[in-house]
Amino acid sequence: MSRQTEQTRRITVPEIAGRKGGQKIVALTAYTTPMAALLDPLVDLLLVGDSLGMVVHGLPSTQGVTLEMMILHGQAVMRGSSHALVAVDLPFGTYEASPEQAFASASRLIAETGCQAVKLETHKGVARTIAFLVDRGIPVIGHVGLRPQASNADGGFKAKGRTEAERQQVLDDATAADLAGAFALVVEGVAADLADTITRNVNAPTIGIGASAQCDGQILVTEDMLGLFDWTPKFVRRYANLKETIQQATTTYADDIRKGTFPADEETYRLGTKA
């Protein structure tokens, strides 16, 4: 196997961990090979998030996502990328029972996809699991604040840190994940001042989503950022309106078919021609 050139060498876990207080980490989600190929040269980290359950498969939440789904999409993203670090979510029900269950799930994810890291939602007791994984050579990204996998228990997707007790719990979760060895922390759906406090108090770089500009990086769901859905969360900035672009293109395509102008001569094969 030939060695990767500097232009195609993947960003590594230590390089992301070393961004604390330095160059901002640019991260987006990816679930397919074509999208990964488009994003890969432009970002530092691609996350194959369990949000794919809602974004790609039309599920009402992330709870229905399976390990097999994460592996399938992780393989697709790895095929489309060569530069960004790729992390894959451990889905609901694949790591909560015990550190041993988490290791079995995470090691399978890495072995079958080739990704460099896993991400798991951090809550009481999960720090022990993070340490168990890290001790066995599996790089881990923690996820604190709004936890989509807990949406049933929380009564929906609600921002965290609204009360002093809840605020302290999020800070404790972040601190515990950091001490357990997580090399980065996703901080989702918390007040800016809480995200700032977390960022100042942990050694790992923080990656905000609905958090604070003071985080060490930012991530969004790519389809939200590109405007593919009617509704997007408050914290999303739309950088395009691809839904409208796709609808306009499809309307023109349908009109051309109905008028008989597609396919035209230049799009038609003829007997005896080289084309």
Quick check: is 267 catalytic?
no
> DSSP strand E in the chain: where?
25-29, 45-48, 85-89, 117-121, 140-145, 184-188, 206-209, 217-220
Catalytic site residue from 6, 96, 100, 188: 188
**Residue 51 is labelled as binding a ligand:** yes
Dihedral-angle region of residue 274 (phi above 0 means left; psi in -120 to 50 means alpha; beta otherwise):
alpha
Residues 90/105, Cβ–Cβ less than 8 Å = yes
Residues 211/222, Cβ–Cβ less than 8 Å = no
Residues 92/102, Cβ–Cβ less than 8 Å = no
DSSP state at residue 11: P
Q: Which of 172, 87, 158 has its CA nearest to residue 126?
A: 172
Degrees, nearest 5: CA angle 56-58-63: 95
**Residue 243 is labelled as binding a ligand:** no
CB atoms within 10 A of CB 9: 11
**Residue 50 is labelled as binding a ligand:** yes
The CA-atom distances, in angstroms, between 112 and each of 55, 67, 81 are 23, 11, 16
Which residue ranges make up the annotated binding site for 3-methyl-2-oxobutanoate?
Answer: 50-51, 89, 119
Which residue ranges make up the annotated binding site for Mg(2+)?
Answer: 50, 89, 121
The residues carrying an active-site annotation are 188
